[in-house]
Amino acid sequence: MFTGIVEEIGKINQVLRRSSQVVQLEVTAKKVIQDAKIGDSISVNGVCLTITDLNLNSFQVDVSPETLRLTNLASLSIEGQVNLERPLRLSDRLGGHLVQGHIDDTGVVSGWKDEGSASIMKVDVSPKISRYLVYKGSVTLDGVSLTISKWEETSFEVTLIPHTKKVTTLGQVGVGDRINIEVDLIGRYVERFFSSAKYTSEVTLELLSKSGYID
């Protein structure tokens, strides 16, 4: 579990194919590997991966075929930059929101505009993702926890302050780039709750009586 508060920007040192499908990434880092060990989880552009090797100033992770299909990690190249975050500890402050590191889909950046010192990013999404997004709700983009400032059926907008653009890779994202999206975990549980057969029936006097709410 993560928070969507990026701890540092890492740089891709190597992109190797361990087999015909699995890709190994070597990432330069400092802060996130200070107390890391092999087998630990780490968020790379919002994707939860497992550290398979460690050096003094870098770590390695393996990326499965499914992850390559569902995320933008397949487009990474040497010298490319990625957002990094260590897993949340129970004693930590929750500065962003609860993030699993399980990417739901990718969106396409379709526009940028300035609003004072801030910048507004517009992202086009598919209907299967749009249904979980709400105005003023949380969303994770490439591992960064953000608040939705505008919502439409096939797109949404987020506002980035200068600090966010400086300490994450989002300031480097251009129109047409794919971006990893993880929707708010709570939205999925709410949908599951109300889509179950037990809660889709209409509320009737008979139902209320059986449930003990009325005599």
147 compared with 91, residue with greater pLDDT: 147
The C-alpha torsion from 188 through 100 and 94 to 40, rounded to 10°, is 160
pLDDT (tens digit, 9 = 90+) per residue, 106-151? 999 999 999 999 999 999 999 989 988 999 999 999 999 999 999 9
Q: Which domains does the chain have, with CATH numbers?
A: 8-85 (2.40.30.20), 105-195 (2.40.30.20)
Look at residue 94 and tell me whether its pLDDT is greater than 90: no
Q: Which of 19-33, 39-53, 184-198 has maximum average pLDDT?
A: 39-53
What does the angle CA 143 – CA 145 – CA 148 come to, to the nearest 5 degrees? 125
Look at residue 20 and tell me whether its pLDDT is greater than 90: no
Q: Percent of the chain, pLDDT > 70?
A: 85
pLDDT (tens digit, 9 = 90+) per residue, 80-89? 999 999 998 7
198 compared with 166, residue with greater pLDDT: 166
89 compared with 208, residue with greater pLDDT: 89
The arithmetic mean of pLDDT across residues 17-32, rounded, is 89
Q: Which amino acid is at 15?
A: V
pLDDT of residue 18: 72
pLDDT (tens digit, 9 = 90+) per residue, 36-76? 999 999 999 999 999 999 999 999 999 999 999 999 999 99
pLDDT of residue 206: 72
* Average pLDDT of the chain, as a whole number: 89
Phi-psi label, residue 140: left if phi above 0, alpha if psi -120 to 50, beta otherwise:
beta
212 compared with 117, residue with greater pLDDT: 117
Look at residue 175 and tell me whether its pLDDT is greater than 90: yes
98 compared with 159, residue with greater pLDDT: 159
Stretch (H or E) spanning 69:
helix 65-70
The arithmetic mean of pLDDT across residues 157-183, rounded, is 96
Return the closest-CA partner of residue 80 out of 44, 35, 55. Answer: 44
**Torsional sign, CA 84, 157, 152, 195:** positive
207 pLDDT band, cuts 50/70/90, is low
Look at residue 210 and tell me whether its pLDDT is greater than 80: no
